[in-house]
Structure formats: C-alpha cells, structure tokens
Amino acid sequence: MQTSALTQTIVAEMQAAHYPEVKVIYELGIATNNATLETKAPEWAEWDTKYMKSCRFVALQNGKVAGWAALTPVSGRCVYAGVAEDSVYIHPDFKRQGIGKLLLDKLVEASEQEGIWTLQGGIINDNKASIKLHEQCGFRVVGVREKLGQLHGQWRDICLVERRSKVVGV
C-alpha cells in the first residue's frame, strides 16, 4: 500500500469489493466520449477475466475509490508476455489532484516486478490530459493511428504511447 501525504490518497490493490465504484468511474469515463471507444462497462466477471490479476490498483480517499488503474496483456502469444496495455481512470470529483500520476507510477513499478518490459496505451487523441499524464510518467508518443476505431459512428484517432522499462529486458 502506498500513501501520498499531499493528497491523503492511499493506493491499494484492487479487490472485487471495489468493482462497483470502479465500474461507476469507468462509466463516467465512457460518458465523456474521450476516454475509451467502449460504450458499456462490463460486469465484474468479464472485467476480472480481461485484466491482469497482479497489476490492478485503486486510489482511495476516505475509503472512497477516487480512481483505478490496471493492465491488460496485449497478446496471448508467449513472445509478447512482457507487453501490456494500461488503463487509468479518475473520478471527475478527484481530477487534478495528482491521483492519475500516483496510480500510473504504481502501475509502472508493479509491471516491472511482474517482468513487463513494455507498457503501451492507446489514448483517444483528443484526450490531451491523458497523453500528458503518460508523458510525465516516462511514456513517449509513438504516433497517431488515424481513424482506428469508431465511437457512435464517428471515426476517432488513437495516440499510441509506450514506455520501455529501464530494468526489465535490458
């Protein structure tokens, strides 16, 4: 467990009991039309299957989930076992408090403990705050994939970011 004295935010491993609040935060992100191309948050069983068990965290303020972060493997092929994609979502009431950085830094640390050598993110290109957050945490912009996916019938460009570990796979 990691605590930030400045914000009184505790970063803890996500538990199944956190999922109702995690789901609400995910749904709030979906509603912005700038956080994901998904249009519906999954139920716990589907979410639990999709995300790696070892790299999922919540940021708690006074016992309330303020944000969450987790990793998904990019492929089932063994040659890509050290590559994962990150997800970071912050409740709108807790934005601009450094919680995203706290969570993403923790995710980077945990990923390296799990042998992950590359983290990547696919961020809707209009989500400049998320791109900036990733850059602050050591990610670089690889490029923009134009019209990669549709959301509500509208093509969206996706900014591909990546971070190579300085300790794993060196």
Task: Look at residue 159 and tell me whether its pLDDT is greater than 50.
Answer: yes
Tell me: pLDDT of 5 over 90.
no
Q: What is the mean pLDDT of residues 90-116?
A: 96
Give me the percent of the chain exceeding a pLDDT of 70: 96
In angstroms, the CA 131 to CA 122 distance is 9
Q: What local confidence, expressed as pLDDT, does residue 2 receive?
A: 55
Q: What is the DSSP letter of 100?
A: H
pLDDT bucket at 34, cuts 50 / 70 / 90: very high
In sequence order, the β-bridge partners of residue 159 are: 123, 144
Confidence of residue 170 (pLDDT cuts 50, 70, 90): confident
Q: Distance between CA 109 and CA 94 in Å, rounded?
A: 23
Distances from the Cα of 57 to the Cαs of 41, 108, 111, in angstroms? Answer: 17, 11, 12
Specify whether the CB–CB gap between 89 and 67 falls below 8 A: yes
- From the candidate CATH numbers 3.40.309.10, 3.40.630.30, 3.90.850.10, 3.40.50.2020, the one assigned to the domain spanning 2-120: 3.40.630.30
End-to-end Cα distance, the chain: 28
Position of tokens 């990019």? 74
Residues pairing with 145 in the sheet: 158
**What pLDDT digit, counting tens, does each position of 56-95 carry?**
999 999 999 999 999 999 998 988 889 999 999 999 999 9
Q: Mean pLDDT throughout 94-114?
A: 96
* 10-22 mean pLDDT: 97
For the chain, count helices (H), then strands (E): 4, 8
CA 51, distance to chain mean position in Å, is: 10
pLDDT at residue 12 is higher than 50: yes
| CA distance linking residue 48 with residue 141, whole number of Å | 29
The whole-number pLDDT of residue 58 equals 98
* Residue from 119, 94, 106 nearest 13 by CA: 106
